[in-house]
Structure formats: structure tokens, C-alpha cells
Amino acid sequence: MLKLYYAPGACSTASHIGLEESGATFDSQALSFAKNEQKTPEYLRVNPRGRVPALVIDEGTIVENTAILDYVAGKYAPQLMPKDPVQRARAISLMAWFSNNVHPAFTHIGRPERFASDVAAHENLKATGRENFHAALKEIDGLLAGKTWIMGEQFTVVDGYALVFYGWGKRIGLPMAELKNYTAWKDRMLARPAVKRVLEREQSILLAA
């Protein structure tokens, strides 16, 4: 039994893509942030932190994209993570950076109240978050130079994670087309049937003109 809880357009898209690419059979449930469904007593029993993604498996629940993606690859689709220990460490390193740095930079823009209770600081947090997020996207663009996928020739679960941030950059109006490597890679991602299925299910901004 596998069940993914996600919110359309949230960072959970990474786990959603990983699962769909793995070919594993899974159930899914979309939660609406607008309706605060991540904070219902029912969902808090799944993930007491009230965050998505959460993947329910026979043995319990796994949270955090990095862990879910490594689990899905290990259990259902080893080709979605590098086999070589050095490359695997690099893949985990990149996902840790996404989770610890890139994602929080974006959170500063939308939820400054989580970082400072002083309302006077919020505009500055938003502006700094935007700058840091844009700088991270430029770094991802650099990482993709000369590569087909983010880890090189092998498509991995890390690619699905990197797609989340392209969508967020588009959502807040950053000049994404200037990031040539990232944009060409995004087009290759959109050409993958499994990725397209997930983006259609989530009605992703990435499919809009």
C-alpha cells in the first residue's frame, strides 16, 4: 500500500513525479492549502507537522521529499538514483541543499511571519528571500550547463525536485527565460510522459503559456 498526500504546485510535486516515474502503483490525495486541509485533525494524524508531502507505506509514514525520493527509488526504481556511492552522495547532497536552502528562501517570500514576529521586518524578509531564491535558481542553471539531466546523463529523482523551483520562479514572475540551461532542461522534463501526467493532475503553472 502506498498513498501520497500532496498539494498541487507545492514542493510535494517532487515526490509525486518520483512516484509516477517509478512505475509503482500508488493512491494519492490532494490537500488544499487555501482550505487549510494540511491542518485538519485527520491529516495531522498522518503528519503531525502539517506539511506535505507525506507517503504512507505498510510500515508507517515517510515525510520529507529527500527521504521519500530515496525510498521510492530504492524500493521500486533503482535506476532513479545513481548506483555509484559518490554520485549517490552528490544526489543526496543536492536534495539536501534544495530542502535546506532553496525551499526556505522561497518560504521567506510567502510566509515572512514564520521568520520574524515583527511585522516591520516582513517586507525586508520578502525582498531578501526573493534575492536569495533568484540566486539559487541561477546556481541551478549553472549546474545544468552541458548536462541532459541534473546528475548528468542519468535521469534521477533529483530532476523532479529541481522542477518545483522552476515553477515557483515562474509563479513569482522571475525572468526564467534568461536561465537558458534551466529552461531547456524544463522543456525536456515536460516532454516526459510521467512528468506531464503529474503536472496535468496538479494543473501546474508549468503547462501554462
Ligand X SMILES: N[C@@H](CCC(=O)N[C@@H](CS)C(=O)NCC(=O)O)C(=O)O
Comparison of 101 and 124: residue with beta carbon closer to ligand X: 101
Q: Is 19 within 8 Å of 62 (Cβ atoms)?
A: no
Binder among 19, 52, 94, 158 for ligand X (CB under 6 A)? 52
50 touching ligand X, by CB under 6 A? yes
Comparison of 17 and 145: residue with beta carbon closer to ligand X: 17
Comparison of 51 and 196: residue with beta carbon closer to ligand X: 51
38 touching ligand X, by CB under 6 A? yes
Q: Could you give the CA distance from residue 87 to residue 110 in angstroms, rounded to a whole number?
A: 34
65 touching ligand X, by CB under 6 A? yes
Q: Could you give the CA distance from residue 103 to residue 92 in angstroms, rounded to a whole number?
A: 15
What is the 3-state composition of the chain as percent helix, strand, coil, each rounded to the nearest 5?
60, 10, 30
- The interface region with ligand X, picked from 48-56, 120-128, 178-186, 198-206 by CB under 6 A, is 48-56
Q: Tell me if residue 55 falls in helix, strand or coil.
A: strand
Question: Restricting to residues 87-146, which ones interact with ligand X according to CB under 6 A?
Answer: 99
154 touching ligand X, by CB under 6 A? no
Rg (Cα) of the chain, in Å, rounded?
17
